[in-house]
Amino acid sequence: MVYAEGPNYRFEVDGAIATCRVWRRPDLDSDAGARCAREMTAHFRTLSLAAPTVARAIIMDVREAPAVAGPQTLDALGELMKSWEAVKRPVAVVVGPAPIQALQYRRLVAQHAAHYGGLFSDPDSATRWIEQRSPSSRPGSR
């Protein structure tokens, strides 16, 4: 189910996991990209407040996003990660092959989602990690 979408992103909810896919739009300048990141932050915050009734975890797939994010975008992305960290819900970030992208997102996860964030190179690994963190998958839980 499509939850929200914008010029360079789309949120979908499938079961208990929300996925936000972000892609490159060469026609968007850095200010427009930063605005989109702020919009995404608002959606992340809304989903985090609705969790776990809407989604117990989120995957942020930036494999098709620009390899380098600007300072305004990084600030917005940090805020969205903080919103999920605050409600103690997993946020998995899936990066592309560009080393600089992985470095930027590794820093964001470490600073803003150190306990509930993870960085991955493919969506299947992110999904497995989320499933392992699920309370129902822990020993002694139902």
Tens digit of each residue's pLDDT (9 = 90 or more) over 88-138? 999 999 999 999 999 999 999 999 999 999 999 999 999 999 999 865 444
Average pLDDT, the chain: 88
pLDDT tens for 128-138 read 999 998 654 44
Percent of the chain with pLDDT over 70: 92
pTM (predicted TM-score): 0.87
2-137 CATH pick, 1.10.10.10, 3.30.1960.10, 3.30.750.24, 3.40.50.1820 = 3.30.750.24
pLDDT tens for 15-42 read 889 999 999 999 998 888 888 988 988 8
Distances (CA, A) of 20 to 84, 135, 136: 13, 23, 24
Residue type, 114: A
Q: Is the peptide bond before 66 cis (omega within 30 degrees of 0)?
A: no
Q: Spell out the SS3 assignment of the chain.
A: CEEEEECCEEEEEECCEEEEEEECCCCCCHHHHHHHHHHHHHHHHHHHHHCCCCCCEEEEEEEECCCCCCHHHHHHHHHHHHHHHHCCCCEEEECCCCHHHHHHHHHHHHHHCCCCEEEECCHHHHHHHHHHHCHHHCCCCC
Cα torsion angle, 69, 73, 79, 83, sign: negative
Buried residues in 92-129 as b, exposed as e (16+ CB within 10 A): bbbbbeeeebbebbeebbeebbeebbbbbeeeeebbeb
Domain boundaries, the chain: 2-137
